[in-house]
Amino acid sequence: MATKEELEGLTVPQLKERLKNAGLTVGGKKAELVERLLDAAPKKSTSEKKIKVAQKSSGNSSGDLPLFKAIMTGGLGSADLDYRVVGQRVAGLVLLIVAIIGLGSMSWYTAEMDVNDLEGEGVMIGEDFDFDLVYNMGLTEISQVVTSSFGGAGMELTLSMSECVELDEEGESEGDAGPVCSEMAAASTTMGVMLWISIIVLSLWLLLLFLNGWGILDGTPLEEKLEMIDKWSVIAISSLLGLGILFYGLMGGPIVADEEPWSGGLGGMWWMSFLTWLIFVGVSYGSDLKSFIDSKRAA
């Protein structure tokens, strides 16, 4: 269907020709001819219109309705979604949940020692006595679990990181191998700070996208800056959280290798955080990296 501007650009004879083909009267001034053609044009019903949604709030191409209103009006199939952006939003939400869990997790790192290995270093151990000491490390606390064949059930003691560092230093001054608390304190503090910053940025980022998805930000200064906020939020989350995870891994991974009689390694919480961060970065920048590689190959 021609627009009003297009019809006004036609000559009177051309307009009359269109009216004649449509079976309409051809008399009148040019403005009347234009209006007659516009009035006679078939109107699209609401059911025939494909609802478009705004790109940055929804991960789709472009259009009139925000994501959630578009879905509420015409169903999920009515939204022209960009599934890469949708995947990024979902990965961000999962990353936020994992980060919150990580703050209180005690499985960032595990260090274990069989006290029998200390025999001969001034520690007296009975022949039938099996004594194990396990440290499950969080970011602010450490769980010390003692198990023995003599006592049967294990005994658990929770220490703050600072208390564990003091015990570590006391043990070293007496000539005993410490439980790696001193080495892990800096890594744990750094990881905790990065987690808190990432949680704050992730929460604000997802909240703005949610509000924009309902059209609440329409006409506000935030709507105009949302694309920039989106870009820098993803950069901040990817870089800061990544630095914390990698720093903790580099500090924690090799610590127990030369700390006999200790053994251990990075825990399940670190691996979960690393994998969810890697997925988020991959979804966010995977296509850009592919385009960069393709351009280099073409050159």
Could you tell me if 74 and 212 lie in one domain?
A: no
Give the domain-ending residue among 181, 213, 244: 181
Name the amino acid, one letter, at 121. Answer: E
Distances 188 to 19, 109, 138 between C-alpha atoms, Å: 78, 10, 8
Could you tell me if 98 and 212 lie in one domain?
A: yes
Cα(86)–Cα(223) distance, integer angstroms: 19
Tokens 């009035």 correspond to: 39
Does residue 18 belong to any structural domain of this protein? Answer: yes
Could you tell me if 100 and 134 lie in one domain?
A: no
Mean pLDDT of 184-192: 88
Could you tell me if 17 and 35 lie in one domain?
A: yes
Could you tell me if 155 and 125 lie in one domain?
A: yes
Does residue 242 belong to any structural domain of this protein? Answer: yes
pLDDT tens-digit series, residues 229-274: 999 999 999 999 999 999 998 877 655 545 566 677 888 999 999 9
Does residue 165 belong to any structural domain of this protein? Answer: yes
Could you tell me if 172 and 157 lie in one domain?
A: yes
Which residues form the domain of 64?
Answer: 47-81
Does residue 296 belong to any structural domain of this protein? Answer: no
Q: Mean pLDDT, the chain, as a whole number?
A: 77
Does residue 71 belong to any structural domain of this protein? Answer: yes
Would you place residue 120 in the very low, low, confident or very high pLDDT band (cuts 50, 70, 90)?
very low
Does residue 293 belong to any structural domain of this protein? Answer: no
Does residue 125 belong to any structural domain of this protein? Answer: yes
Could you tell me if 39 and 26 lie in one domain?
A: yes
N-terminal to C-terminal alpha carbon distance within the chain:
45
Could you tell me if 274 and 196 lie in one domain?
A: yes
Would you place residue 65 in the very low, low, confident or very high pLDDT band (cuts 50, 70, 90)?
low
Does residue 275 belong to any structural domain of this protein? Answer: yes
Could you tell me if 177 and 125 lie in one domain?
A: yes
Greater confidence (206 vs 26) lies with 206
Could you tell me if 267 and 211 lie in one domain?
A: yes
Give the domain-ending residue among 133, 154, 181: 181
Residue 51: pLDDT over 70: no
Give the domain-ending residue among 181, 202, 234: 181
Our count of domains for the chain comes to 4
Could you tell me if 119 and 172 lie in one domain?
A: yes
Query: Which candidate, 248, 122, 227, places its Cα nearest to that of 185?
Result: 248
Could you tell me if 217 and 278 lie in one domain?
A: yes
